[in-house]
Amino acid sequence: MEKETVLKVSSLDVFYKNRKRKLFSKQSKKIQALFDVSFEVQEGEVLAIAGESGCGKSTLARAIVGINKDYEGVIWQKYGDPQMVFQDPYNSLNPAKKVGWLLEEPLKVDKKRKWTKEERQQRVKEIMEEIELPLNMLERYPSQLSGGQRQRVCIGIALMRNPKLLIADEPVSALDVTIQAQIMELLRNLHKKLGISIIFISHDLRVVYQISDHVMVMKNGRIVEYGATKDVYRNPQAEYTKQLLKAAGITR
C-alpha cells in the first residue's frame, strides 16, 4: 500500500536579513540561506537531514514550521501544524512555569478545538505516560529536572495536539551520551507507537543511522545527496557525504 505524502517542499529558496548592515544605511540586504531545496516526507517516515553546522538544516526546519516566512517556492503540508523539538531543552522551557502548566499550554491556545480543564488534564496524563515520566514531576520547575527529563518534557509539549509531523532539531546534541541513547530510544518508541512522521536533524551521522529511513545531506544551503539511509551509508555518491562518513568513523 502506497503511503501518503505529508510534506512536500518544492524549489525552496530561504532568505534572512543581513544584521551587519552599514551604519546610516536604510537598506537591509537579504542573504540567501537555502537554494532550490526539494523533497518529500511520507506518512510514518523518518527523514534525517544531515550536515555540518551552518549548512541550512535548522533554517529549513524553521521555514517548514513557519518561524521564517521569508522564502520563495512551495511548502505543502497535508495536515499543517507541524511541531518542533529544539536542541536546548532548558532554553525551550519557561523557567517560571511548572511542567504541568507547560504541557497544558498548547491545548489552551489550540485554535482547532476547545479543551475543557478535565480534558487537558487527562491529555497531560496520557503524554506523561508516553514520555515515560512520573506524574509527580508535573509540580516541578524545569530547573528541578535533569537535561534528559527536560527534553522529554519538550517532546511531550510537541506531541500534545497529536501532530502528524514532528521536527526534531538536534534533539540530543546537548545531552551526554547515556542520556542521548535514552532519548533516541524514546523517539523510536514514539514513532513506532504513534506512526508519526519525523524530520530528524543532526550533524552526527552515527545518530542519524539509528533512526532514519531516508537521509538528506546538505552543504552550503543545498541538497548534495538523498536516498535510503542504508544505501547512502553503504554507497555514498557525493564526495561531501564520503567525507562526513569518514570523519564519523563509519567508512575508511
C-alpha dihedral over 187, 191, 197, 198, to 10 degrees? 10
In a domain, 140, yes or no: yes
Res 140: pLDDT: 98
Residue in the structure block whose three cell numbers are 536604510? 26
Q: Nearest Cα to 4, choosing from 116, 165, 216, 186?
A: 165
Residue 118: inside a domain: yes
Lowest mean pLDDT among 14-18, 75-79, 97-101: 14-18
Q: Is the per-residue pLDDT at 138 higher than 90?
A: yes
Residue 157 lies in a domain: yes
* Residue 240 domain-assigned (yes or no): no
Domain containing residue 103: 94-162
Closest CA to 223 of 11, 1, 20: 11
Tell me what pLDDT residue 3 has: 85
**What pLDDT, on a 0 to 100 scale, did the predictor assign at position 38?**
98
Q: How do residues 3-47 score in pLDDT, each as one tens digit?
A: 899 999 999 999 988 766 555 555 568 899 999 999 999 999 999
Query: Phi and psi (nearest 5°) for 147?
Result: -60, -40
Beta-carbon contacts of residue 196 (< 8 Å; ≥ 6 apart): 44, 159, 163, 164, 165, 166, 190
- 229 in any annotated domain: no
Q: How far is Cα 49 from Cα 214, in angstroms, rounded to an integer?
A: 9
Stated pTM of the model: 0.93
Does 236 reside within a domain?
Answer: no
Q: Answer whether residue 242 is part of any domain.
A: no
pLDDT at 21: 55
Instruction: Please check whether residue 121 lies inside any domain of the structure.
Output: yes
The number of domains in the chain is 1
